[in-house]
């Protein structure tokens, strides 16, 4: 999870035709009361009256509050049609809109609309769109739309604030209005005058609601002045009493399709008095025949809809207590009036138009849906301990941002060799541009990435290629548009009687609204969501975001206390795990936990897997800074199962390449901040990451050296897509190194052994893997200077250098090696197929000790070399001798073959053309090799 959800909720506010969006008088006040577009207006905001939860970030401020606004003209549906010059970046302060504090969370600004918004002469302004935000856009109010007047006789209705509502029987309804000029005024209930006044510029009275339950009644305020007439009206109904009836057998929350033309809707809504089903089937009216029945326990409302058009999409909502219209929390598709217009037809063809007469997000039902036909029905999931996961974000991975194009990239990922993909959250989230950790509908894939069948086709194709698909799922929190947040809301936080949410999060890392995972309602929801995506979409498991937040132990802002062992949280996760296992025996259950090792060990032993963040260590190592990532080993944590998913990068960490290129160390001519060297450092880091036994995860484009910083365009903002990296030879080598390491990990049993030794302290690091099939020894120099070392091979014998194919006969496991900065080698006791040449810039010659050279009868002199250097061989060997001279990068400079016919042989080597530097001479005779370091000095 991102520790900061700095997503930008960009909305084009739509002034829907036929729907008057009125501002609550307490939230925004205008002076004068009837402003026009050509006079100065004073706007006064009371942030305490804002309804959007994000507005809490504006409370108690004395500065850093700005107006974000627009103006709309007659005939336009857009209240932000014209915007002030320079208002372009929501995440930065907009100085012309800087507000003046009046104290007590009240703010003021003065402006002349036509001038401020740049509306051309001849265009009549009739509305302003307004909201307040802080400078960086992380806190904001909801949008307010206020009316601009044209100077004619007008009525502004101040009370009631709503225009269509329900009241208790026989209650008094206050009516208060102001008139732009003194006039004759009447108030009518239906067609009966209940109040009148002459020469009045305001009305203040009340009317009795009566006791006619469910009957709509209309109150009209009318003003007359000469030939001019103005009216304002509102409607109300006395609250109905729902019929009490048991839920039909087999029905569950959400839509239940009962035939080609019928469906039963069920809404879980404890503490609510009545609910209407509204939608295209009744023109969005709360008509009596669509009053939903209530179950005897008072917890659910249900209704059977008949005569639905077979196979057609039908939009609907629930009108709760007559005041709040919400989409179905269990819907599998929504329509969003603000966001859908920005989804291209190439991503979502034939998207249903937003229905006329509706307000806000609506849900969709559709009988006789054609089911997706799965091609792969017997996919065998990779073993958890051998997972190599590729985490990706659809928005930042492919320019088209859709599943269809994503499916086309699977061949690239297959060549890389990964066996699992982890998709960042794809469930409906606020807006279209987000990391996805702001969910609002848990059963609906976000349309910004395509249709649900496109998602299924992507999963199907991945399975065809042997790749599992894991969903990053957010069940720790929900954003404001989630129906169960809005249905149980108390000013600026969830209500105390919410069946799902804590009023305040129990832990310090919550950003939106925190689920109570010990409530029965949340337990049922989580179980239903988890089962839905596995059974409906054939996904292979979940990465649960902020799993440490699934607790009712209130630790406030104390991160250490939150991370301590929590028995109730352990019980919650064991319950969720058992539920998943009841219908899927092998689905991956991965937790982003970062809690006390005792807790993670207990849950790991139970079968759960865990994210293991080692970004900090690997970034430092790649930069040439001392670090020890020993904790990437599950054995280091004393776990029984290899269920620690180690990673160098995820969506949430700084990119290694960026840090190396910006902050890496250097020594002389060796500079990690040059691209070619930084890419070699990335190879080195990968060589000490992927081979360590246990599952691993790669963040998208890490295999190509992605170097864009995480905070570019805001932490969660859109990042540039770098497929052009594939065309760069040095980056392609990094990709191939990753591919070779993954191939070793997944195909050679030694790389999944439980017998291994990690020596990761210091600049020179070693990994030893022990298996009956073969042994593996990895050694690397993370320093920025040459390191002469004792190799410390696990055993003597023949070892093969994987990336060069060179054979090394190691007679002394501790014999001398000289590692260049950034140099690494993977040695195996079994000869493996050698990768393509040139992936690493060194040849891996193991230096023989001087005494060993003497024992073998090998002498090279003089050293430092001169124009003619002599190689003296002594010994019983007779036959071909091969001599190779290479430079420090392993590039072969000379090769000489000759026959040794007698005990003593002397060969003259011509080296006069070599520049000054360090060289290595490898002498092979009779299958035995020795390496000698030579120095050439400048004459």
pLDDT in tens, 107-156: 999 999 999 999 999 999 999 999 999 999 999 999 999 999 988 999 99
* Domain boundaries 858-936, corresponding CATH code: 2.60.40.1930
Of 732, 702, 920, give the one whose Cα is nearest residue 838: 732
Residues 254-367: name the CATH superfamily.
Immunoglobulins (2.60.40.10)
Residues shown for the chain: 939
Q: Given the DSSP bridges, would you call strands 696-699 and 787-790 parallel, antiparallel or unpaired?
A: unpaired
Q: Per residue in 262-279, pLDDT tens?
A: 999 999 999 999 999 999
Question: Which residues neighbour 582 within 8 Å (Cβ) at sequence distance 6 or greater?
Answer: none
CA atoms 477, 479, 485, 489: torsion sign: positive
Q: Is there a contact between 388 and 418 (Cβ–Cβ < 8 Å)?
A: yes
Query: How big is the CA angle at 61 (ends 479 and 92), to the nearest 5 degrees?
Result: 65
Sign of CA pseudo-dihedral 115, 117, 123, 126: negative
Mean pLDDT of the region 578-596: 97
* Separation of alpha carbons 384 and 540, rounded Å: 11
pLDDT value at residue 938: 62
Q: Would you say 363 and 327 are in contact if contact means Cβ atoms under 8 Å apart?
A: yes
Q: Crossing angle, helix 615-623 and helix 656-663, to 10 degrees?
A: 40
Arithmetic mean of pLDDT, 561-574: 97
What is residue 611's predicted lDDT score, i.e. its pLDDT? Answer: 98
Residues 6+ apart with CB under 8 A from 484: 329, 478, 498, 499, 500, 501
Contact 771, 747 (CB under 8 A): no
Q: Are residues 647 and 698 in contact, defined by beta-carbon separation less than 8 angstroms?
A: yes
Q: Token pair for residue 232? A: 């304002």
Q: Which of 282, 286, 279 is nearest to 242 (CA)?
A: 286
Check residue 309 and give its pLDDT: 97
Q: Inform me whether the pLDDT recorded for 9 exceeds 50.
A: no
Q: Are 413 and 460 in contact (CB under 8 A)?
A: no
pLDDT score at 530: 98
> 223 and 179 in contact (C-beta within 8 Å)?
yes
In the chain, domain spans: 18-147, 155-238, 254-367, 388-610, 614-828, 858-936
Q: CATH code for 18-147?
A: 2.60.40
- What b-and-e string marks burial along 392-411, b requiring 16 or more CB atoms within 10 Å of the CB? bbbbbbbebbbbbbbbebbe
Query: Do 858-936 and 614-828 have the same topology in CATH?
Result: yes
Distance CA 933, CA 598 (A): 51
Q: What is the CATH number of domain 614-828?
A: 2.60.40.1180
CA distance 736 to 730: 10
Contact between residue 217 and residue 187 where contact means Cβ atoms under 8 Å apart: no
- The torsion region of residue 118 among left (phi > 0), alpha (psi -120 to 50) and beta comes to left
Distance of CA 833 to the CA centre of its chain: 39
pTM of model > 0.85: no
Token pair belonging to 820: 């260049």
CATH class of the domain defined by 388-610: alpha beta
pLDDT for 23:
40
DSSP code, position 371:
P
pLDDT digits (tens, 9 = 90+) for 648-677: 999 999 999 999 999 999 999 999 999 999
> How far apart are alpha carbons 686 and 702 in whole angstroms?
10
Res. 8: pLDDT tops 60: no
* Residues whose CB falls within 8 Å of the CB of residue 723, separated by 6 or more in sequence, listed in order: none
Kindly indicate the confidence band of residue 923, based on its pLDDT and cuts at 50, 70 and 90. Answer: confident
Q: Binning pLDDT at 50, 70 and 90, where does residue 854 land?
A: low
Residue 20's pLDDT band (cuts 50, 70, 90)? very low
Backbone angles phi, psi at 904, to 5 degrees: -115, 130
**What CATH topology corresponds to 155-238?**
Immunoglobulin-like (2.60.40)
Beta bridge partners of 746: none
Give yes or no for residue 540 having a pLDDT over 50: yes
């Amino acid at each position: 999870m991102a520790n900061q959800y700095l997503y930008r909720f960009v909305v084009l506010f739509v002034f829907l035709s036929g729907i008057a969006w009125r501002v609550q008088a307490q939230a925004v006040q205008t002076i004068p009361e009837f402003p026009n577009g050509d006079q100065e207006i004073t706007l006064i905001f009371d942030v305490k009256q804002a309804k959007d939860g994000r507005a809490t970030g504006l409370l108690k401020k004395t500065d850093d509050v700005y107006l974000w606004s627009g103006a709309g003209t007659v005939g336009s549906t857009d209240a932000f049609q014209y915007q002030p010059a320079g208002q372009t970046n929501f995440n930065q302060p907009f100085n012309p809109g800087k507000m003046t504090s009046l104290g007590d969370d009240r703010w003021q600004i003065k402006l002349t609309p036509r001038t401020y918004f740049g509306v051309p002469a001849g265009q009549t302004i009739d509305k302003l769109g307004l909201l307040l935000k802080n400078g960086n856009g992380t806190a904001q109010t909801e949008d307010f739309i206020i009316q601009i007047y044209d100077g004619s006789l007008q009525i502004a209705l101040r009370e009631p604030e709503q225009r269509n509502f329900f009241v208790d029987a026989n209650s008094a309804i206050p009516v208060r209005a102001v008139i732009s000029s003194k006039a004759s005024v009447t108030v009518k209930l239906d067609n009966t005058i209940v109040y009148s006044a002459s020469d009045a510029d305001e009305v203040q009275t009340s009317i009795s609601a009566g006791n006619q339950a469910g009957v709509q009644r209309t109150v009209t305020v009318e003003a007359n002045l000469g030939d001019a007439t103005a009216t304002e009206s509102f409607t109300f109904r006395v609250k109905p009493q729902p019929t009490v009836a048991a839920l039909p057998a087999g029905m569950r929350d959400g839509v239940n399709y009962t035939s080609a033309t019928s469906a039963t809707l069920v809404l879980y809504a404890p503490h609510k008095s009545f609910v209407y089903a509204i939608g295209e089937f009744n023109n969005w009216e709360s008509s009596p025949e669509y009053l939903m029945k209530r179950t005897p326990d008072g917890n659910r409302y249900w209704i059977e809809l008949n005569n639905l058009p077979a196979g057609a999409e039908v939009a609907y909502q629930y009108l709760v207590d007559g005041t709040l219209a919400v989409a179905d929390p269990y819907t599998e598709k929504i329509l969003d009036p603000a966001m859908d217009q920005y989804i291209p037809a190439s991503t979502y063809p034939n998207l249903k138009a937003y229905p006329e007469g509706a307000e806000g997000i609506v849900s969709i039902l559709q009988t006789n849906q054609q089911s997706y036909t799965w091609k792969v029905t017997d996919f065998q999931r990779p073993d958890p301990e051998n997972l190599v996961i590729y985490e990706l974000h659809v928005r930042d991975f492919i320019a088209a941002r859709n599943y269809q194009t994503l499916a086309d990239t699977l061949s690239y990922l297959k060549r890389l060799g990964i066996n699992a993909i982890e998709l960042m959250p794809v469930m409906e989230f606020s807006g279209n541009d987000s990391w996805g950790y702001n969910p609002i509908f848990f059963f609906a894939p976000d349309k910004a990435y395509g249709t649900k069948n496109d998602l299924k086709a992507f999963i199907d194709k991945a399975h065809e290629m042997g790749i599992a698909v894991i969903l990053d799922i957010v069940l720790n929190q929900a954003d404001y548009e989630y129906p169960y947040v809005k249905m149980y809301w108390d000013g600026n936080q969830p209500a105390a009687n919410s069946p799902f949410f804590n009023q305040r999060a129990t832990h310090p890392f919550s950003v939106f609204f925190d689920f109570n995972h010990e409530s029965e309602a949340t337990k049922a929801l989580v179980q239903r969501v988890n089962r839905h995506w596995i059974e409906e979409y054939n996904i292979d498991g979940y990465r649960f975001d902020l799993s440490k937040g699934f607790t009712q132990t209130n630790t406030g802002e104390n991160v250490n206390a939150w991370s301590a062992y929590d028995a109730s949280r352990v019980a919650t996760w064991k319950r969720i795990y058992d539920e998943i296992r009841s219908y899927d025996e092998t689905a991956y259950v991965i937790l982003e936990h970062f809690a006390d090792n005792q807790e993670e060990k207990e849950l790991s032993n139970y079968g759960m897997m865990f994210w293991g963040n080692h970004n900090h260590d690997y970034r430092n190592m790649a930069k040439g800074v001392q670090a020890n990532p020993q904790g990437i080993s599950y054995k280091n944590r004393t776990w029984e199962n290899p269920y620690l998913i180690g990673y160098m990068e995820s969506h949430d960490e700084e990119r290694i390449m960026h840090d190396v290129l910006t902050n890496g160390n250097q020594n002389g001519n060796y500079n990690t901040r040059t691209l070619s060297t930084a890419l070699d450092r990335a190879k080195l880091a990968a060589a000490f990451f992927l081979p360590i036994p246990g599952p691993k995860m790669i963040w998208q484009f890490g295999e190509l050296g992605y170097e864009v910083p995480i905070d570019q365009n805001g932490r969660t903002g859109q990042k540039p897509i770098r497929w052009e990296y594939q065309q760069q030879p040095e980056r392609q080598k990094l990709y191939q190194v990753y591919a070779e390491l993954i191939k070793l990990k997944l195909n050679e049993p030694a790389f999944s052994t439980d017998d291994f030794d990690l020596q990761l302290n210091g600049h020179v690091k070693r990994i030893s893997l022990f298996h009956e099939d073969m042994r593996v020894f990895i050694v690397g120099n993370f320093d920025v200077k040459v390191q002469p070392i004792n190799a410390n091979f696990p055993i003597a014998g023949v070892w093969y250098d994987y990336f060069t194919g060179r054979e090394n006969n190691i007679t002394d496991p501790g014999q001398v090696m000289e590692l260049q900065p950034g140099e690494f080698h993977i040695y195996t006791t079994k000869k493996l197929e050698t990768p393509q040449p040139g992936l690493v810039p060194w040849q891996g010659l193991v230096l023989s000790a001087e005494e060993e050279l003497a024992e073998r009868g090998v002498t090279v002199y003089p050293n430092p070399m001169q124009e003619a250097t002599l190689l003296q061989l002594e010994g019983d060997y007779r036959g071909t001798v091969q001599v190779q001279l290479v430079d420090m990068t392993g590039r072969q400079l000379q090769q000489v073959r000759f026959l040794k016919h007698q005990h003593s042989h002397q060969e003259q080597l011509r080296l006069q053309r070599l520049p000054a530097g360090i060289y290595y001479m490898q002498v092979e005779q009779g299958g035995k090799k020795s390496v000698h370091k030579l120095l050439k000095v400048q004459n």
